[in-house]
């Protein structure tokens, strides 16, 4: 994973996804308490999973609780 070098700076490679069981689910948008999945998926309410944020070669992960579940990929899903 290599970022792009530009004349005016550097563009990082960012990858954000959830690990739910053995499944990796891509995130298209994220905020401080909600996210939108990139692809259609169904996740039941009160699901515990791991949120992974990778920027270039640095990766951080934390466990989260998806409070209301996810149905499709059009609405933001809440987590904490």
Reported as a single tens digit per residue, the pLDDT across 9-41 is 778 899 999 999 999 999 999 999 999 999 999
**Percent with pLDDT over 90 in the chain:** 79
Strand (E) positions, the chain? 4-6, 9-11, 14-20, 23-30, 34-37, 41-43, 47-55, 58-66, 70-72, 77-78
SS3 54: strand
**pLDDT for position 3:** 54
Q: Flag whether the pTM goes above 0.85.
A: no
Mean pLDDT of 52-62: 96
């Amino acid at each position: 994973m290599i970022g792009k070098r530009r004349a005016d700076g550097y563009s990082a490679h960012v990858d954000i996804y959830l690990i739910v069981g053995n499944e990796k689910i891509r995130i298209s948008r994220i905020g401080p308490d909600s996210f939108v999945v990139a692809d259609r998926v169904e996740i039941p309410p009160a699901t515990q999973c791991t949120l992974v944020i990778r920027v270039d070669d640095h990766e951080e992960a934390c466990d989260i609780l998806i409070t209301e579940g996810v149905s499709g990929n059009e609405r933001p899903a809440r987590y904490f």
